Amino acid sequence: MKEIRLQYISQGNTPQEHLQKIEEVCRAGGKWIQLRLKNTDAATSLTTALKCREICDRYEALLIVNDQVSVAKAAMADGVHLGLNDMSLVEARNILGDNFIIGGTANTLEDCLDHAENGADYVGLGPFRFTSTKKKLSPILGLEGYTEILSEFNQYKGKVPVVAIGGIGIRDIEGLKATGVSGVAVSSMLSEPKGLKEKIENIKNTF
């Protein structure tokens, strides 16, 4: 599995906006893309994922599909990211096989340990702070929450990379690095083209 210092989680009002922003991030040096479509039908999700696959291939970036295991498989994505209320990691692994990256959302130490025991390739731990991109937000962790959870989880024998997620800004990167996370997953911070390359390089250089 490639480095996991920075994952971009797509956003946009339409599938085309998602693809436009994904291409901008890839062009600026982003190598981990999570396609996160919400409230779209299966056909639109698959069509968009296939187009996203083409973009990621062009820039040699990894494609992770949010939630939709069947779409990830059909679009030949590199992996899938599962929320706490989505399909279980074990079931997803049975469908996708060993060559797919599977990540899982976590909010507590128990969530992290469950994901690790069930074969997650990485854990998306959050939210760091309030974010409007996520409905039904779990309790906010802040730096203190990350420090507490990572101090215990990083002793786990089969250490799994943990990525911080949720309302992260460029000024938060240094502090999050100090908690022991392997990287960050961001959305709004990279959804504006201004200064995109500099932001991506800053994050990669920190981790």
**Which residues are bridge partners to 123 per DSSP?**
104, 162
Q: Is residue 15 part of a domain?
A: yes
Structural domain boundaries, residue 122 = 6-206
Q: Is residue 136 part of a domain?
A: yes
DSSP for 57-113 reads HHTT-EEEEES-HHHHHHTT-SEEEE-TTSS-HHHHHHHH-TTSEEEEEESSHHHHH
Q: Is residue 120 part of a domain?
A: yes
Identity of the amino acid at 189 = M
**Residue 37: CA count within 13 A, CB half-sphere:** 25
Query: What is the structure's pLDDT at 3?
Result: 66
Q: Is residue 174 part of a domain?
A: yes
Backbone φ and ψ of 139, nearest 5°: -55, 135
Q: Is residue 125 part of a domain?
A: yes
Q: Is residue 21 part of a domain?
A: yes
Query: What is the structure's pLDDT at 154?
Result: 86
Backbone φ and ψ of 193, nearest 5°: -70, -20
Instruction: Read off the CATH number of the domain in which 202 is found.
Output: 3.20.20.70
Q: Is residue 123 part of a domain?
A: yes
Under 8 Å between Cβ of 48 and 77: no
Q: What residues in the chain have per-residue pLDDT under 50?
A: none
Domain count, the chain: 1
Tell me the C-alpha distance between 154 and 185, whole Å: 19
**CA nearest to 77, candidates 116, 119, 117, 22:** 22
Under 8 Å between Cβ of 117 and 157: no
Query: What is the structure's pLDDT at 135?
Result: 64
Summarised one tens digit per residue, pLDDT across range 147-177 is 999 999 988 867 899 999 999 999 999 999 9
Q: Is residue 1 part of a domain?
A: no
Query: What is the structure's pLDDT at 158?
Result: 73
Hey, what are 61's tokens? 């970036």
